Amino acid sequence: MDITDVSVSRGKKSKKMKNKKPQKKNEREEASGAEKEEEEKKKMNQSESATALPSTSHLHQVKNKQRRHLMFIKLKQEKKKQRMQLRKKKKKEREALGDKAPPKEIPKTIENQRVYDETAVDPEDEEVAFDEGTDEFSSYFNGLTNPKVLITTSDRPRGRTVRFCEQLATVIPNAYVYYRRGLALKRIIPQCVARDFTYLVVINEDRKVPNGMVLCHLPEGPTAHFKVSNVRLRKELKRRGKDPTQHYPEVILNNFTTRLGHSIGRLFAALFPQDPQFVGRQVATFHNQRDFIFFRFHRYIFKNEKKVGIQELGPRFTLKLRSLQKGTFDSKFGEYEWVLKRHEMDACRRKFQL
């Protein structure tokens, strides 16, 4: 418990206090003590609080850690009380003014303060529309191909991963699960292409828990490598519904704003068939928030035109994109479109890639 901790809130002088060396402690004590007395007097004059403030000038002098800690806690509580009082006062003022009150300030969130990304896609951007019309997914979005997904794991999967793959296969229509048995991916891929698969999903496992996912669009498509976390299997979900049926689900893609986000969004959209069966009332959601993609699978029901109820079925997991590669899976010679570089990209808290 340093003196500076306490005096920061007190006034301008406190910042100078921080820079002074500990040799000048006596001076500091006196100065800060004097300053505190001043502050206390001021506060008494302003009569904001009827009671006298607790004398925190002795906080750093108390040698007993427990007692010091208690004093600190009391100080914090006092501060909190004052803050609440201030807020109540403001609220009363606001109510008293009624319509004339100044508009409420919008609190700053990370989403508000997000650094503007120049690759953010404009809905009417022609170049983007043209690109998307001619990229690897164009055949899917033009309705030519139907998705057929092969789900597999890394070598020797444990029970959790196996169950996860099975549940994924029920969520994604037209999905087949095959065991790996030590086959090389580079050999699997031509076989898949030969059998008309459009997607290859490899769930990587570490310490009996799935922790990575490679999503490979097959005929020469992009390969995305994700980090998987927070996997919840069906029986671990609370208040869940019955098993999903065979109807094609709808797809919701939220918050994919940049070019990269767009391409990842299309990657996810192409997993599911183009014509969702609304009779089934199932929806798969990929929600991007701060570069984390949350996957949820729900069943919805419209109670009236203003309210809808959703019930979670299937598994849930979160993905974080690690790299996007142009061709099919090739870790050595592949051409990477985007790679997560932690030092560059994670440096700023308000900058996101997707």
Site residues for another protein per CB under 8 A: 109-111, 155, 182, 184-185, 229-230, 250, 252, 254, 278-279, 283, 285, 287, 289-292, 294, 296, 298, 300, 302, 304-306, 308, 310, 318, 320, 342
Structural contact between residues 162 and 231, judged by C-beta atoms closer than 8 angstroms? no
User: Looking at beta carbons only, is 155 or 196 nearer to another protein?
Assistant: 155
User: CB of 187: closest distance to another protein in angstroms?
Assistant: 10
Element containing residue 200 per DSSP (H, E): strand 199-206
Q: How far apart are CA 329 and CA 229, in angstroms?
A: 22
Q: Are the beta carbons of 212 and 227 closer than 8 angstroms?
A: yes
Tokens of residue 191, six digits: 């076989």
Q: Residue 225: which H helix or E strand, with range? A: strand 223-232
Quick one: 44 or 110, whose CB is closer to another protein?
Answer: 110
Least separation in angstroms between CB 135 and another protein: 24
| Minimum distance of another protein from residue 142's CB (angstroms) | 19
The residue (of 93 and 236) whose beta carbon lies closer to another protein is 236
Minimum Å distance from CB 52 to another protein?
A: 39
4 or 245: whose CB is closer to another protein? 245
Beta carbon of residue 286, minimum distance to another protein (angstroms, whole number)? 11
- Identity of the amino acid at 326: K
Using the minimum distance from each CB to another protein, give the nearer residue, 146 or 254: 254
User: Judged by CB, which is closer to another protein: 30, or 206?
Assistant: 206
What 275-280 contacts at long range (C-beta under 8 Å, 24+ apart), as own/partner pairs, is: 275/248, 276/248, 276/249, 276/250, 276/251, 277/247, 277/248, 278/250, 279/247, 280/245, 280/246, 280/247, 280/248, 280/249
CB of 204 to another protein, least distance (A): 10
Query: In terms of DSSP bridges, do strands 292-304 and 316-325 run parallel, antiparallel, or are they unpaired?
Result: antiparallel
